[in-house]
Amino acid sequence: MLTIFKNEWKAFLRNKIFLFFSLFFVLLLIITTYFGILQNNQQIINQKSAQDHIRKQWDEMGPYNAHSAAHFGTYAFKPNSILSNLDEGVNAVTGVVLRLEGHKQNDAAFSESSQSLFVSQFGKFKISLLFQFIIPLFLIFFSYNIYTSEITSGRLKLLIVQGNSFRKIIFSKILTILSLAGILLLISILFQLLLNFNQIGVEEILRLSIFFLAYILYYFIIISFTVLISLLLKSNTSALSLTLICWFLWTIFFPKTIGSFTENLTPQSSRFLLQSNMDEDREKGIDGHNPEDMRIKDLEAKVLREYNVDSLSQLPINFSGILLQADEDYGNKVWDKHYGLLYSNLLKQKKHYQISGLINPFASLQNLSMASSGTDLIHHLDFLSKAELYRRKFIKTLNDEYTYGNFKIDGGNLSSRDFFKSINDFNYNGLSIHKIIVQYTLDILFLISWTVILLLLINVKTKKYLINES
Amino acid sequence: MNLNIFTYELKHFYRNKAKLYSYIVFMFLSLYALVNVYNIKEKQQDTINEICHKKEQERLKVIKWYENNQIGPDDKSWVNINDPFWAILYNPTYVIKNPSKLYPMGIGQSEQYGFYKQTKRWSSTYDTDMAEEISNYERLINGSVDFSFLIIFLLPVLYIILTYNINTLERDLDFHKLISIQCIKLKKWVISRLLFYLILILVSISSLIIIVGLASGGFEVIVQILKLIFLSNIYIFSFAIIYYFINIKSKNSSSSSFKMISIWMIFCVIIPGSVHQYANYKYPANFMTDFLDTNRKETYEIFELDNIDLHNLLIELYPSLENLDNFENQKLKDQAIRRSISAIVNQMNIHAANEIEIQNENKNKLIKSSYVYNPVSFVQNLWNSYTETDYYAYKNYRFQVQESITARNELMLKEIWNNKVSDKKTYLKYIQTLKLEN
């Protein structure tokens, strides 16, 4: 098998078209990886500079009313991970700025794709575009005739006469093409390691390994599927046509149609309806600015009892602050109810889409590619959830200061600059891949299943050939 | 064109199941795409109807208050709708981007933007509620199956399936010389065969555009329909010319299909992807800190100003207010000044939003400059402009939102500074004045 593998490589290296495309891809990969990293690092710097800019404004604040500061709020800017340049995932369509303020939860706004004219249907020229769309196509073209060309040239019989089994010949050829794809993947990963050397840790190596394995499995599927079709049809043209149609269905058609289908399967309410329902639920609760509300009365009575006084003026604390926090707590419950459902529906849709890996290995690849690059839906929702948790802590700190603060400035209720400075900034710590990989079990299983089934089918098919031949 | 070859090709097409089914599948897909986007349009329309209903209900509630001599909601004693400030505040306005009549023809960039916005005196065109409608982000990156996608990206592929083995199959089977022997010029023979598929595709697509266009938009949009037909025909014709040379020059069908797919890949994937990457490198995603500064820090600085400075600023921005100083006492004047702050902030927001629009336009200029070698993006954007789903359609929508915010603030200034009192009649007038939204 190793001899055939070596010979295949020698033949490949003698083939000018093969050499040209191999060099072309290596060059393209190096350029794409380099520019991807450059652009990604630039975005990381921009995000950090925006965050610092906003923080500086916060630090310069004061003396100031803590409740006004809650309205003033802060911002969370969605960070790029260092591996985002591999696969941009959902980052181009999600908002990048999230305002965190009192009384309300906002949505991330200003997505990159809303900031210009339409450019590309298939996204930026990132490594993922090259690995997901272009390289598989060329792998198909390299592998569709590996069997038929051997028959027409008469080489197959010669090889079999020399004592090689047909199965070995076919698998050697598959492995040869796969090794080429593996080399391209390794080049890209090595470049990642090289250019981001200082920032690469165990987490990133784990992610890169998943990235590599997912793609190598997918490439094996693509190559062996093409070979299987050519074994079945025994005609170059038919095999190529059918494989191309399958590639097209997998890569372009199914992701769109199944995506739309999964959305229809778990429909989401419109933003307007969601907001109306949330407003309605919130109105039922305590309005910090509404002194006539019954709930306020209850809270008022409770606090008076607690402090053992008869009127609000006798309280040693600022009752408005308690009201505001109570309103926040209720608002948080409302948010958890509605956004909890929204997020769980989004994850349900994702799960349904993952099932499509059964008929479309590309869906599994796409999911694992985004997950390993930290740009999938789960990572995005994690950012939103952590930002919301920070917002709650941030507003509670301000409300507590407003309630219990020992105000000495101007005899009013202004808090000191030091207090504002003492509040930590939102610092997003991304998800660790080992925490979420379990959510990608289906994708991993499907890729492995496709691989095993194709291995078995080719095995059977090549066995049959020998029997027939003999 | 040789009619015999043409009719022979019809027979060949009919008998070749791969080609026939590909064509039928594509036509079904086109219908599916049209229905799919039509459903999205209907869903949008439902939301718009809900909004209009809610708005009407809220206005009716206020009108009832006037009729019952009630000055506001029971639980908000400080509200007085006889005061124009509250009357305008209690006059909800929404700016809506109605789906265009040709929306089913192309969803364009519409999924990246919101299509309704409640405008308040503090609103701006970059508020977070201008975000896109709720969608699964992972679905958004794959996009929807819409008609424009089928025409721009899939139709060339269908054309490849239909034509990749014209002339090359004969070469595969080694009887291509027979064609020349039969006294037929090879190029003429290839052109005649190709023309059959070209005409088949163009007629099918043009018919679909006409039928669906007229059904959804009527004769009002006939010009846009004709433009779409012209654009799609030119587009496919351009691919057909390139593919013709490939058919002529290729030595076998594998080689021709490889070349054709590569051309498709270069024009539809690689060039747009590279331009996208470069444009993003040159103009990275904007975190809009300048706008955030205006919207927050500078707004708070305005709040910090004393009433005299605020008054001066107001006069500077709205000189017509200078002669309107008819308040009974200083307290009322101060109240009017504080209530006018939103009009100052609105001017600041307009300025900040314009800066963003300029930055976006610079990126757009870069994208447009790539059209010479990036024709697919050009065609897609032109198509989107015909279906009113491109960036500029939503930029115009943002302008309408801004117009509505400005109208609200200016109305408020006019009424407050003229010491007006509002009643049912004036409230109805306010509704008319602010009725920019539809």
**% of chain B surpassing 90 pLDDT:** 57
What are the residue boundaries of the structural domains of chain A, listed by start?
2-469
Q: How far apart are CA B343 and CA A307, in angstroms?
A: 44
- A44 contacts in chain B (CB < 8 Å): none
Q: Is ipTM strictly over 0.90?
A: no
Sort residue A270 into left (φ over 0), alpha (ψ -120 to 50) or beta.
beta
What φ, ψ does residue A48 adopt, rounded to 5°? -65, -40
Phi, psi of B117 (to 5 degrees): -155, 125
- Measure the CA–CA gap between B388 and B99, rounded to whole angstroms: 8
- DSSP assignment of B108-127: TTGGGS-SEEEE-TT--TT-
State residue A94's pLDDT score: 87
Q: Which range scores top for mean pLDDT: A121-135, A292-306, B203-217, B312-326? A: B203-217
B327 phi, psi to nearest 5 deg? -85, 145
Q: Which 8-state DSSP code applies to residue A314?
A: G
Q: Does the structure show a pLDDT above 90 at B6?
A: no
**pLDDT tens-digit readout, B139-157:** 988 888 889 999 999 899 8
Q: How far apart, in whole angstroms, are the C-alpha atoms of residue B125 and residue B354?
A: 10
Q: Name the most confidently modeled range: A117-121, A129-133, A444-448.
A: A444-448
Residue B254: C-alpha distances to residues A145, A238, B251 (Å): 9, 10, 9
pLDDT in tens, B48-66: 999 999 999 999 999 999 9
Contact across the interface for B272 and A119, Cβ inside 8 Å: yes
The mean pLDDT of B6-21, rounded to a whole number, is 85
pLDDT attached to residue A238: 77
Whole-number Cα distances in Å, B326 to A117, A334, A469, B17, B309:
50, 46, 107, 85, 19
Other CB atoms within a 10 A radius of the CB of residue B311 amount to 19
Please state the rounded mean pLDDT for residues B182-194.
Answer: 83
> Strand, coil or helix: what is A65?
strand
Contacts with A121 from chain B: Cβ below 8 Å:
143, 149, 152-153, 268, 272, 380
| Residue where the block lists tokens 């109605």 | B98
CB contact under 8 A, B277 and A36: yes
Chain A positions touching B75 (Cβ under 8 A) are 290, 292-293
Q: Mean per-residue pLDDT for A85-102? A: 88
Q: What are the φ/ψ torsions at residue A64 (nearest 5 degrees)?
A: -150, 155
pLDDT of residue A412: 66
**Closest Cα to residue B296, out of A178, A101, A392, A156?**
A101
Token pair in block for residue B249: 């020059």
CB under 8 Å, gap of 24 or more: what pairs does A389-393 form?
A390/A76, A390/A100, A390/A426, A391/A100, A391/A101, A391/A105, A392/A328, A392/A332
C-beta contacts of A410-416 below 8 A and 24+ residues apart = A410/A63, A412/A65, A413/A65, A413/A66, A413/A318, A414/A62, A414/A63, A414/A64, A414/A65, A415/A62, A415/A63, A415/A64, A415/A65, A415/A66, A415/A69, A416/A62, A416/A63
Q: Which two tokens stand for residue B230?
A: 């012209």
Residue A445 pLDDT grade (very low, low, confident, very high; cuts 50, 70, 90): very high
Flag if B285 and A244 touch (Cβ within 8 Å): no
Model confidence over B111-128: pLDDT tens digits?
Answer: 889 999 999 999 999 888
Is B247 at the interface with chain A, CB within 8 A?
A: no
CA distance B19 to B199: 15
CA distance B291 to B1: 62
pTM above 0.95, yes or no: no
Instruction: Verify whether the Cβ–Cβ distance A118 to B172 is below 8 Å.
Output: no
Instruction: Report chain A residues whose CB lies below 8 A from the CB of B72.
Output: none
Q: Closest Cα partner for B235 from B209, B190, B270, B202?
A: B202
Q: Which residue has the higher pLDDT, B38 or B75?
A: B38
CA neighbor of B194 nearest in space, from B222, B217, B167, B175: B167
Can you state the angle between helices A166-195 and A16-59, rounded to 10 degrees?
A: 30
Q: Do B136 and A121 touch (CB under 8 A)?
A: no
Euclidean distance between CA atoms B353 and B359, whole angstroms: 10
